[in-house]
């Protein structure tokens, strides 16, 4: 069973995001009136939304399979598989879940490639990226559904204290809090 720091790092990596943004652009089909001066319509400014969550381990809802080189204490190793679900709260109230799967990809640096889905009442947010064994890391928001469709952004994970914090920074036309 991995240490809490490893679970937290992997959990955050799976729920978390590289800083990239989507610039919203508009395009419309417009029939010009003969002799009229064309009008350029500026693109709508992208919306920026920040969602803050606290992640809570769900007892019995995590699996680690040490498939690769035997892992030293303190970190997963190449080939290791991890899957888990955590409950998310916002302002102390239930907000959703994060579901993550990760595989160890680097023996020397103890890195894992993680993918995950944050499930909320109004849609999902997909995340992916490299998770380090440090208590903080950033993942990329790779997509979403519902309210979060068309968004990009990052997920910052911070387990440096007694609480696992996830901060999702969304950029897009439909960002919502």
pTM: 0.73
CATH 3.40.710.10 fits 4-172, yes or no: no
Task: Read off the tokens for 145.
Answer: 């559904």
Closest to 76 measured CA to CA, from 13, 167, 159: 13
pLDDT digits (tens, 9 = 90+) for 51-92: 999 999 999 999 988 887 776 665 678 899 999 999 999 999
Residue ranges covered by each domain of the chain: 4-172
- Determine the straight-line distance between the first and last CA of the chain, rounded to whole angstroms: 35
Task: Read off the tokens for 58.
Answer: 């769900």
The backbone torsions φ and ψ at residue 49, rounded to the nearest 5 degrees and listed phi first, read: -130, 140
Average pLDDT of the residues in 30-57? 69
Average pLDDT of the residues in 93-112? 93
Task: Read off the tokens for 95.
Answer: 């907000």
How confident is the model at residue 117, as a pLDDT? 98
Say if residue 150 is exposed, middle or buried (CB neighbours under 10 Å; 0-12, 13-18, 19+).
middle
> Strand locations in the chain, DSSP E?
47-65, 81-90, 93-106, 111-120, 123-131, 136-144, 152-158, 164-172
């Amino acid at each position: 069973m991995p240490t809490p720091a490893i679970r937290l790092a992997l959990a955050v990596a799976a729920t978390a995001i590289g800083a990239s943004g989507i610039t919203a652009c508009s395009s419309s089909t417009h029939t010009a009136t003969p002799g009229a001066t064309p009008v350029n319509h500026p693109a709508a400014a992208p919306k920026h939304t920040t969602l803050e969550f606290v992640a809570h381990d769900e007892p019995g809802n995590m699996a680690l399979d040490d498939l690769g080189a035997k892992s030293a204490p303190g970190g997963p190793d190449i080939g290791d598989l991890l899957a888990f679900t955590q409950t998310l709260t916002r302002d102390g109230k239930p907000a959703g879940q994060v579901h993550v799967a990760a595989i160890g990809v680097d023996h020397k640096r103890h890195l894992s490639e993680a993918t995950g889905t944050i499930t909320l009442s109004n849609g999902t947010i997909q995340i992916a990226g490299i998770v380090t064994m440090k208590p903080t890391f950033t993942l990329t928001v790779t997509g979403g559904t519902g309210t979060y469709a068309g968004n990009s952004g990052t997920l910052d994970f911070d387990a440096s204290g007694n609480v696992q914090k996830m901060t999702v920074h969304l950029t897009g036309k439909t960002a919502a809090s």
